[in-house]
Chain A
Amino acid sequence: EPEVTQTPSHQVTQMGQEVILRCVPISNHLYFYWYRQILGQKVEFLVSFYNNEISEKSEIFDDQFSVERPDGSNFTLKIRSTKLEDSAMYFCASRGRGFNSPLHFGNGTRLTVT
C-alpha cells in the first residue's frame, strides 16, 4: 500500500538554526498537511496546502515556518530559526481527491532543538 514517507526520522539541531523537514506524500494525493505533537501531548494542526498554496494555517504556524512543494513530489516544512519549544514530532499527511477522504500520515520526524 502506498505510504507517506518522511525524512529524517530524527533531527537534532541547535537553537537558532534552520531546519527543513522533508515529506514525500502519496503520489496521486492533492492535499498536504503538517501536524505537530509535542512529547506527551495532543497532535496539533499546523498547515494545509493545496494547488501550490497554503489553504489554512494555525496560530502555531507563524513567520518562522514555511512550506514548499519544490518539485511536484516533495513537500517540505522549514523552520527558519528554531527555538527550544519547537522540539516535537512533526507529522506530514496527505489525502486524495474528495473532501471526505482520510488523511494518511507519515511516520513523523522527531525534531530535538538543543
Chain B
Amino acid sequence: AQKVTQAQTEISVVEKEDVTLDCVYETRDTTYYLFWYKQPPSGELVFLIRRNSFDEQNEISGRYSWNFQKSTSSFNFTITASQVVDSAVYFCALSEARRGNNAGNMLTFGGGTRLMVKP
C-alpha cells in the first residue's frame, strides 16, 4: 500500500526566509511518480511538479527547488526567499506508474503542510 507522510502540519516563517517542506513516502512499486500541489486559501489545487522514480536529479524552478532522495524515500520541497503569496497548504502526492488503458493513476496525498509567511 502507498503512503505519504508530511510530518510538518504547520510552518510559520517571516518573509524572505527559506523554508523546506518535508515529504516521506512508502511504496512497493519500483516505478512511481511524486508530485507537489499547492492549495492557496481560495481552495484550488495547483500542480507544481512531477518527478518519476528513475530521475533523482534535483530540480529548480525560480524560488522553488525539490530534493528527491530515493535512499531515504523523501521528496522535499524548498522555497527560497519566501513571500507572503507563498502562504498556502502544500500537498505531496504519490502515484504508481500503471500501464494499460485502464491506468487509474490514483494519487495518494499526504496530509499537507500549512505554510504561513508573515510580512
Q: Enumerate chain A interface residues (CB-CB to B < 8 A).
A: 31, 33, 35, 41-45, 48, 50-51, 55-56, 58, 89, 91, 95, 99-100, 102-108, 110
Task: Name the CB-closest residue of A to B48.
Answer: A102
Contact of A105 with B45 in the complex, beta carbons under 8 Å: yes
Contact of A35 with B111 in the complex, beta carbons under 8 Å: no
Contact of B44 with A35 in the complex, beta carbons under 8 Å: no
B61 contacts chain A at the CB level, 8 A cutoff: no
The contact of A103 among B42, B44, B97, B107, by CB within 8 Å, is B107
In the complex, what distance in Å separates the CA atom of A10 from the CA atom of B103? 30
**Inter-chain contacts of A107 with B (CB < 8 A):** 42-44
In the complex, what distance in Å separates the CA atom of A45 from the CA atom of B50? 18
Apart from A100-B33, A108-B43, what are 12 other A-B pairs with CB-CB below 8 Å? A42-B111, A43-B45, A50-B101, A99-B97, A99-B99, A100-B50, A100-B52, A102-B50, A103-B35, A105-B44, A105-B46, A106-B44
